[in-house]
Amino acid sequence: MADDNEELFGDDEDQAVDDFNRLSDLLFLRISEFSEQEDVADELLPLMLLRLAVTMRMMNYVVSVDKPSGFGLKLDLDRFRRDAEDLFREMKKESDDFIAQAKETIASAAQDEEGDET
């Protein structure tokens, strides 16, 4: 994954990865707020975000090439799918750590709530 990070973030990889993570966290918070305000079902939100991600990739292709074409867009979407599959593979490798961290966060929040009630 380090090679992938270098390709994606360039020479100043550590700072770029930190910025990427910070912005990802901020985006997550804003999307969570939107989801609560609009009462979006938990099962629906990931599909909405996936559709938005693909649409943004499609628009990026159209504005970034001199002569966009349906064939070129299909190729770019194939690249995007491979990138997404790589991301899924990496996240699956981290699934046990994610579950452990989520359980810890939930337990900590529950303790904080109990402390607030007393």
Q: What is the mean pLDDT of the chain?
A: 91
- The pLDDT tens digits for 8-29 are 666 678 889 999 999 999 999 9
How does residue 118 score in pLDDT terms, banded at 50, 70 and 90? low
31-to-2, 4, 24, 48 alpha-carbon distances in Å: 28, 26, 10, 11
Q: The pTM is what?
A: 0.75
Q: What's the pLDDT tens digit per position in 38-58?
A: 999 999 999 999 999 999 999
Among the residues of 40-94, which ranges form H helices? Answer: 44-64, 70-93
Where do runs of H (alpha helix) occur along 10-43? Answer: 13-38
